[in-house]
Amino acid sequence: MAILKVTFTKTKRNILAQALWVLNWVSVITGLTLFSLGLFLKVEIQKRQEVMTNEIHMVPNMLIGVGLATCSINFLGGKICYDCMDTTAFLHWKLLMLPYIICTFFFTLYILVGALMCHAMRSDLEESLLLGLWDAMCYYKDTDIPGCCYIKHSIDLLQMQFQCCGNGGFRDWFHIQWVSHCYLDMSISNVVDQLQSNVEGKYLTDAVPFTCCNVHFPRPCIQHQITNSSAHYNYNYHGAELNLNQKGCRQALLQYYTQIMQFVGLIVLIIWLFELSVLTCMHFLQTSIENVLRLGDSESESDGWLLKNSISETVQHNFNIIKNLGKCYQVDDDPNIDVSSTSRQTQEACTLAKS
């Protein structure tokens, strides 16, 4: 029994073909949208590549590839639907129609995978930012080393733009020497003592870069001797008057990229639903026109369906096709299979002698 069987007249078939011709051209635009979303996501990730350890470009690259493939497939689909308005012209596409629908189905499935990956990318992004931000902070002081001289500018710009500080918070700067040795005055005893007190010879202080300051706080920024309450007037380190950005940059970036991923994932999911509906309508058009060709009357009504048989019968039929692939002709029913070659040769010799 066919699933979702619909009866089409010639007029309805032509209307469906015209509508699908328009929808396929709309699908070309959705393909360009997928391409644009992938390109936008790739650019946004590339902007913060200095604070990431892993290459997280699989999702944007997939969206770019699927977008270009969608444009090509739906462009061909528009041509097919235009020819489906004429039964005679459809004969040129009859053999190609089923492979086209199968390929389009897998591409729509690939779009769904892309939408799900946009939402599942958060864990990989968080791990990449956790390690990448820490490494970038370690190179903050190396402004005179080739290849690392831009890290300070990137970190400062990041902390000002997202109003964040450090990896998980401003205290991360206490465990990193972020001041270059070029700017340390070795004639000051406190500086020398600070270097000698550390096993690795690092200059560690309870200070943060100026870009950690909260610009909305009315008091001038306290970025040095942060933990020393007596070093500043009317200041309490354990109080609520710290004028530093409390949010870590990893959390800020993760929140920023999560919003982008959710937006892109939602758009891709809507595009998948649209492409799936177009594919379903094309299958109805294909089956209805093929039934018209079987009837031999282009003016008659014909049935179109989603599946010719039930799901279980379709699965069983396809399973039998796969199971029988590669099997050769079986000779189990051959009456001479158990007859020895010597006996057959004797019978053939007697027949020749009689003749």
Backbone angles phi, psi at 336, to 5 degrees: -95, 10
Residue type, 237: Y
Mean pLDDT in residue range 166-174: 92
Residue whose tokens read 């791990």: 127
The mean of the pLDDT values for the chain is: 81
Low-confidence winner among 154-168, 179-193, 203-217 (lowest mean pLDDT) = 179-193
According to DSSP, residue 3 is labeled B
Rounded to the nearest 10 degrees, the angle between the axes of helix 10-47 and helix 249-295 is 160
pLDDT in tens, 266-296: 999 999 999 999 988 888 888 888 888 787 7
Buried b (16+ CB within 10 A) or exposed e, 22-40: ebbeebbebbebbbebbee
pLDDT category, 193, cuts 50, 70, 90? confident
Burial class (CB in 10 A: 0-12, 13-18, 19+), 180: middle
- pTM here is 0.76
CB 45, CB 60: distance < 8 Å: yes
**pLDDT tens column, 102-161:** 888 888 898 999 888 888 888 888 888 988 999 999 999 887 777 778 889 999 999 999
